[in-house]
Amino acid sequence: MAKRSSSSGAWLKEHFDDQYVKRAQKEGYRSRACYKLLEIQEKDRLIKPGMCVVDLGSAPGGWSQVTAQIVGTRGRVVASDILPMDTLADVEFIQGDFTEQAVFDSLMAALGGQPVDLVISDMAPNMSGMKDVDQPRSMYLCELALDMAQQVLRPGGDFVTKIFQGEGFDEYFRTLKAHFDKVITRKPAASRPRSREVYLLGRGLKG
């Protein structure tokens, strides 16, 4: 059997020592990422009962889980990811690569023209560790998420996306400002301090 590298061993130790991993296991959440959305929700009150929400990059289902609990049975959550996701009550899941037109079309068909109140995206590419490769891939996913948000959100709807600081960030921020009434940057406590990830919130899609 191949030996695990010291760096991957260190990552595993950090992961299992992580207070948010322990909390997620204790509190029945699917991932530590739940606490990122919960903190954003506490500060910004994005999700409300009865809303229709689209969750992009949803697996293993942490954000969908949090969202479904808040929107309740009168609300609706449509989720998608390239990876499989175990069934969640009151969440419609579409598996596939969001960069492919067929998956986008499936999402649009599932919505059936229903106006969406909020699009949330925790999408990230498989990281290679090479910034020159990872950053453009990440920005491409952010652009696709925004494109979908512009097509499905009702006027005044909101958008949240994970984004990595680096090349393309400032231009993307300016694009959000052009399309939303207000843009907010959040770095939740559950985001590891060394990570370049932040979350951008577009509040109030302009008509």
With 0-12 CB in 10 A as exposed, 13-18 as middle and 19+ as buried, what is 15?
exposed
Range 156-162 average pLDDT: 98
Domain layout of the chain by residue ranges: 33-205
DSSP string across 96-142? S-TTSHHHHHHHHHHHTTPPEEEEEE---PPP-S-HHHHHHHHHHHH
Which residue blocks in the chain are alpha helix, DSSP H?
6-17, 19-27, 34-44, 62-71, 101-111, 131-152, 169-179
**pTM of this structure:** 0.88
Task: Check pLDDT > 80 for residue 2.
Answer: no
| pLDDT at position 133 | 87
- Per-residue confidence at 12, pLDDT binned at 50, 70, 90? very low
Query: Which residues carry a binding-site annotation for S-adenosyl-L-methionine?
Result: 61, 63, 81, 97, 122
Element (H, E) at 181: strand 180-186
CB atoms closer than 10 angstroms to residue 57:
22
Whole-number Å distance between alpha carbons of 95 and 81: 5
Whole-number Å distance between alpha carbons of 79 and 30: 15
Range 32-39 average pLDDT: 92
The residues that are catalytic are: 162
Per CATH, is 33-205 categorized as 3.40.50.150? yes
| pLDDT at position 45 | 97
Span of 2-16, 20-34, 94-108, 142-156 with lowest mean pLDDT? 2-16
